[in-house]
Chains A and B, each alone.
Chain A
Amino acid sequence: MSTYKKPIVIILLIGLLFFTYGCKSSSTEDTDNTEPAAGYDVTAEGKYSPAINLVSVKSVDATVKFLEGEDIHDNIWTRTYAEKLGINLSYMWVVDHSQYQQKLTATVMSGDIPDVFVCDSLLFKMLYDSDLIEDISEIYETHASETTKMVLEQDELALPCTTIDGKLMGVPITDASIAGAPLLWIRQDWMQKLNIDPPESMQDLMEISRRFVEEDPDGNGVKDTIGLAVSKELWGAYAGLQGFFNGFHAYPRIWYEKDGELVYGTIQPESKQALAALQEMYKNGHIDKEFGVKDSNKVAETIANNKCGIEFGVWWNPYSPLYLSQANYPDAYWQAYPIPSIDDTPAKSQYSAAVGGIIVVRKGYPYPEAVFKMLNFWCDNILFSNDKELRETYLGSLDNPDVVKYKYTDFHLWEPNAILRTYENVKKALATRNTDGLNHDEWQRYQIISAYFDQGIKEAWVEVATYGDNGSVSILKDIAQGGGMVNRFYGAPTKVMSEKMAALHTKEDEMIIRIIMGEPLESFDAFVEEWYKLGGEEITKEVNDWWGN
């Protein structure tokens, strides 16, 4: 019965928020409305006349829903591009997300290249090598608006990802790189119950894990809890091992600088220590005995089932899968901590450039600047707008929360810094209880966090654990200010890398799983030797050549 009530509470809560927001925006309209009107003119003057045709391809997934009578070929975005920019956007095909790359490859190979499309870094490199895409360096300088440039350059790793031989060959779809940095998540309610202090070091963490296993934190009288959640994929966005390795100053799967050259993290001696610790934890039952066959969905079940109390994952973990824990056990509360260290040197969370995709232009397409016209329209008019009507028209409205309109177009970028800024603004507002100057998103989060503290609505813990005062985003801030370890290799895959890296990754994962499950540590050294022999040496050389340039 109680599980049935929760969604209703959340819906009511959100409904309340939007209702009050509606009241709020009407009262502050005078101050808000000075900006957006000007935005339209900027793009209006850049309208193509007569209109041009732009053929693209599109991936959709189960979350893309339309208003009655609309579809992917006819919606607010296609109409806007036609009316305001004079661009007739059409799609050669539309495919489910899971098959996008495959279908795109088939299309490109058969010689039918769309005018503008999104691809991954592997295909990007191939297209460049085959001279099929346009160099857009100059057009970027002349046609990207100030705001677009600002968004693209905010994350210093973004543009270099799509620059080959000094030429900008595509537009990176940006995201915050630090959003991928691992953090430590612990069941706060269990720690309080067993009277444990927050972990200061890796040693503390292992002690907490021991007590979680032995002292029955879930209070069901059975010793059935495990300490650390690990999935068989090893490096997932939740229940991954990157964070654990980082605690030992090992940086698996990334390239970092050591003694003046780039080295591959997994094969460094520090990894061996991390593996030794994991092996010990596995032996003592702190890690699920069957973790080698449990994928991340299965691990989410363990979390939902109140059976584990520690995991390493990224900042948004409370939204999924940790919320399941609280949904089933109302008192559950996961708290984020910085990665603890095994010694006196502070640990650094590892992260890589977050380029979700690359927008490229077919070689010979007569209007390459159309890409920036569309991106400018998004960045100048929509991205920073607080105009309720505009947001509802282009992003989606509350009457219809399933219909998320920005998903109809690939030509939208998000601001990498938005997470941190939202955190700062919400924090300030919470301290002063003054919501002036908050944008729509921030205001929403502020309301949910207040509801947790003022009205004791426990479902709201998700926001408290992320954007709250000591939430996960506060740790990202430290990571952004130098407390992280960046993957120094962000180029397109090199030659040997694209041939052999996948196989090496598989071998690497097998080695790690075997060692954790009890194989002697010496096999790590054997693996390192093998890694160099099976192409690792050439890849290291390629990476360093790339870095030297």
Chain B
Amino acid sequence: MKFKKSPGYILFLIINYGVLFFLAATCFFPILHVLALSMSSSAAASSGRVLILPVEFNLQSYRYVVENNAFLKAFAVSVKRVALGVPINMFLTVLSAYPLSRRKEQFRMKTFFTWFFLFTILFSGGMIPWYMVIKETGLLDTIWALTIPGAVPVFNVILLVNYFRSIPAELEEAAYMDGASHWCILWKIFLPISIPTLATVLLFSLLSHWNSWFDGLILMNNPDKYPLQSYMQTIVISRDPTTLTERDLDLLKIISDKTTKSAQLFIAMIPIICVYPFLQKYFTTGLIVGGIKG
């Protein structure tokens, strides 16, 4: 379809693209900066001469990362965590969302269970009880400590419940008339038409597993078992300069080594950057549709 572009429309386009380009650039700039830092010489990086292009280009820091056992080990732990944690998340999200999306006549305790789930979003026991529960259940210091405590992401459940509720009741009734059980309705009818929301939920679950670092630090009893982001946290964090002593000098040197730090940051970003574009197309529709009450 062709229509005449008025000057006002062209002006709008220019401004619109300008603003959007600027927004995109502000998001993209930090990534480019980290990439440039990782490929610069450490002298250039330490004196802040690097912006978005590498200064005195070299790949020393990547070599360091490849040879760095701790980084690779942590990467492996993270992959393992995602491989275990995300399927558990997805399975339980689907299983909890289906009953909660039923009408009250079908599921009498629905209100109670809905509040039961919501309660955990609003209140938490705090760090010490959380730690004690994990310790007493024997999960401490195992990969399960990272995957089981967050097995049901309630926010994701709510998204999916809302999507299920928006599915026309006729579909379900038709299947019921043909003799389908609840299992059959869930697997054969609901899930295939919920792909946008499932993709969104999958992305959320993936991101939260890949990005969380605090539980790794507290629940693992040995740095060897840290997932990637916990490991990253230990090298990226800056020491409080008011409590530094000369004993911290060698640590200070490692921490202020911006090039290797940037290289590790960049590599840690790659898996998510790879996954994002593929799930992105579902992301917007999934989120919006899920948010509308059916």
Q: Across the interface, do B127 and A106 meet the contact criterion of CB distance under 8 Å?
A: yes
Q: List chain B residues, Cβ under 8 A from A93.
A: 141, 221-222
CA of A328 to CA of B44, assembled, Å: 8
In the bound assembly, the distance between CA atoms of A160 and B132 in angstroms comes to 35
Chain B stretch 220-277: residues in CB contact (< 8 A) with chain A: 220-224, 226, 230, 233-235, 237-238, 240-242, 244-247, 249-256
Q: Residues 116-131 of chain B: 1 if any A CB is under 8 Å from the residue's CB, otherwise 0? A: 0000000000011001
Asked if B43 contacts A102 (CB within 8 A), the reply is: no
B56 within 8 A of A: yes
A139 within 8 A of B: no
A324 close to B245 (CB less than 8 A)? no
The reply on A96 being an interface residue by CB < 8 A is yes
By the criterion CB–CB under 8 Å, are B222 and A356 in contact? Answer: no
Q: Which of B16-24, B46-54, B150-158 contacts A (4 or more CB under 8 A)?
A: B46-54
Per-position 1/0 for A283-311, Cβ under 8 A of B: 00000000000011110111011100000
B234 touches A98 (CB 8 A): yes
The contact of A316 among B44, B46, B128, B249, by CB within 8 Å, is: B249
Binary per-residue interface labels of chain B (33-52) against chain A in the complex, 1 for a CB within 8 Å, 0 otherwise: 00000000101101111000
A324-B41 Cα distance, complex, nearest whole Å: 13
Which of B41, B49, B245, B255 touches A179 (beta carbons < 8 Å)? B245
Residues facing B in A145-183 (CB within 8 A) are 175, 179-180
Interface of B, helix, strand, loop or mixed by DSSP: helix
Give 16 new A-B contacts, CB below 8 A, not counting A3-B56, A238-B241. A3-B41, A63-B254, A102-B127, A106-B128, A110-B131, A233-B240, A236-B244, A237-B244, A240-B241, A240-B242, A295-B241, A304-B47, A306-B47, A319-B246, A324-B47, A327-B43
Verify if A23 is at the interface (C-beta below 8 Å from B): no
Q: How large is the interface on A (under 10, 10 to 19, 20 to 34, 35 or more residues)?
A: 35 or more
A320 close to B (CB within 8 Å): yes
B250 cross-chain contacts in A, Cβ below 8 A: 63, 404
Considering the chains assembled together, what is the distance between the CA atoms of A356 and B248 in angstroms?
A: 11
On whether the beta carbons of A301 and B48 are closer than 8 Å, the reply is yes
Complex Cα distance A240/B242, Å? 9
Size of the chain B interface, CB-CB below 8 angstroms: 44
Q: From B222, which residue of chain A is reached at the shortest CB distance?
A: A94
Provide the B49-85 mask, 1 if CB < 8 A to any CB of A, else 0: 1000000100000000000001000000000000000
- Whether B218 is near chain A, meaning CB under 8 Å from some CB there, is yes
> Does A398 count as interface, using CB distance less than 8 angstroms?
no
Q: A236-B244, A238-B241 are in contact. Are A297 and B256 (CB under 8 A)?
A: yes
**Sample of 28 A–B contacts (CB below 8 Å):** A60-B223, A62-B235, A62-B255, A63-B254, A72-B222, A95-B220, A96-B233, A96-B234, A102-B217, A106-B128, A106-B131, A110-B131, A112-B135, A175-B245, A231-B241, A233-B241, A297-B256, A298-B48, A301-B47, A301-B48, A314-B246, A316-B246, A320-B253, A320-B256, A321-B256, A328-B43, A328-B47, A356-B247
Compute how far the CA of A71 lies from the CA of B120 in the bound complex, rounded to whole angstroms. 40
B-side contacts of A300, CB under 8 Å? 46, 256
Interface residue A103 (Cβ < 8 Å from any Cβ of B):
yes
| Closest beta carbon of chain B to A413's beta carbon, Å | 12
What A residues does B242 contact at CB under 8 A? 233, 235-237, 240
Q: Are B221 and A305 in contact (CB under 8 A)?
A: no
| B141 CB contacts on chain A under 8 angstroms | 93
| A305, B49: Cβ atoms closer than 8 Å | yes
Which residues on the A side are within 8 Å of B131 (C-beta)? 106, 109-110
Contact A179 B254, beta carbon cutoff 8 Å: no
Q: Residue-by-residue, is A90-132 near B (CB-CB < 8 Å gives 1, otherwise 0)?
A: 0011111111001101100110100000000000000000000
Cβ of A320: which chain B residues have Cβ within 8 Å of it? 249, 252-253, 256
- Determine the distance from Cα of A237 to Cα of B245 in the docked complex, in whole angstroms: 8
Closest-CB distance, A103 to chain B (whole angstroms): 6
B4-35 to A contact mask, C-beta < 8 Å, 1/0: 00000000000000000000000000000000
With an 8 A cutoff between CB atoms, is A61 at the interface?
A: yes
Chain A residue, CB-CB nearest to B231? A96
Residues of A close to B70: CB separation below 8 A:
62
- Within the complex, which residue of A61, A179, A314, A328 is in contact with B234, where a contact is CB–CB below 8 Å? A61
- Is A281 interfacial (CB 8 A cutoff)? no
The 8 closest A-B pairs by CB, nearest first: A236-B241, A93-B221, A301-B48, A304-B47, A96-B234, A296-B241, A237-B244, A3-B43
Cα(A112)–Cα(B128), bound, Å = 12
Query: Smallest distance from the beta carbon of A362 to chain B beta carbons, Å?
Result: 18
Q: Which residues of B sit under 8 angstroms from A63, Cβ to Cβ?
A: 250-251, 254
Selected contact of A96 from candidates B48, B56, B217, CB within 8 Å? B217
A142 to B222, CA, bound (A): 36
Q: Are A62 and B254 in contact (CB under 8 A)?
A: yes
- The answer on a CB contact under 8 Å between A103 and B218 is yes
- Closest Cβ neighbor of B233 among chain A residues: A98
Scan residues 152-209 of chain B and give those whose CB is less than 8 A from a CB of chain A: none
Residues of B within 8 A of A94 (CB): 221-223
In the bound complex, CA of A237 to CA of B244 (Å) = 6
Per the bound structure, the CA–CA distance linking A175 and B235 in Å amounts to 25
Quote the shortest CB–CB distance from A383 to chain B (angstroms): 15
Q: Which one of A98, A295, A414 has the greatest number of beta carbons of chain B within 10 Å? A: A98
Q: Which residues of A contact B253 (CB under 8 A)?
A: 320
Q: Smallest distance from the beta carbon of A173 to chain B beta carbons, Å?
A: 10
Nearest chain A CB to B235's CB is how many angstroms away? 6
**CB-nearest residue of chain B to A73:** B222
Q: Is the CB of A295 within 8 A of B245?
A: no
Inside 8 A of B235's CB, which chain A residues have their CB?
62
A61's partner among B221, B226, B251 (CB-CB below 8 A) is B251
Nearest Cβ on chain B to A458's Cβ, whole angstroms: 15
A184 contacts B by Cβ under 8 Å: no
Q: Is A354 an interface residue (CB 8 A)?
A: yes
* Residues of chain B lying within 8 A (CB to CB) of residue A92: 221
CB pair A180–B245 under 8 Å, yes or no, is yes
Q: Which of A3, A96, A240, A414 has the most CB of B within 10 A?
A: A96
CB contacts (< 8 Å) of A295 on chain B: these are 238, 241
Contact B132 A110 (CB under 8 A): yes
Flag A45-80 by CB within 8 Å of B: 1 or 0 each.
Answer: 000000000000000111100000001100000000
B224 CB contacts on chain A under 8 angstroms: 71
Q: How far is the CA of A60 from the CA of B70 in the complex (A)?
A: 13
Shortest distance from the beta carbon of A480 to any chain B beta carbon, whole Å: 16
Q: Are B46 and A324 in contact (CB under 8 A)?
A: yes
A-side contacts of B220, CB under 8 Å:
95
Interface digits, A411-428 against B, CB 8 Å rule (1 contact, 0 not)? Answer: 000100000000000000
Mark contacts of A214-252 with chain B using CB atoms, 8 A cut-off: 1 yes-contact digit, 0 otherwise. Answer: 000000000000000001010111101000000000000
Give every chain A residue within 8 A of B247 (Cβ-Cβ): 175, 356, 414
Check if B128 sits within 8 Å of A110, measured CB to CB: yes
Bound Cα distance from A93 to B222, whole angstroms? 6
Chain A positions 374-430 with a Cβ under 8 Å from a chain B Cβ: 404, 414
Cβ B217 vs Cβ A103 within 8 A = yes
**Across the interface, which residues of A come within 8 angstroms of B127, CB to CB?**
102, 106
Q: Which residues of A contact B49 (CB under 8 A)?
A: 305
A409 → chain B closest CB, angstroms: 14
Given contact pairs A95-B217, A96-B217, A62 touches B251 in the complex (Cβ within 8 A): yes
Contact string, A317-338, partner B, CB cutoff 8 A, digits 1/0?
A: 0011100100110000000000
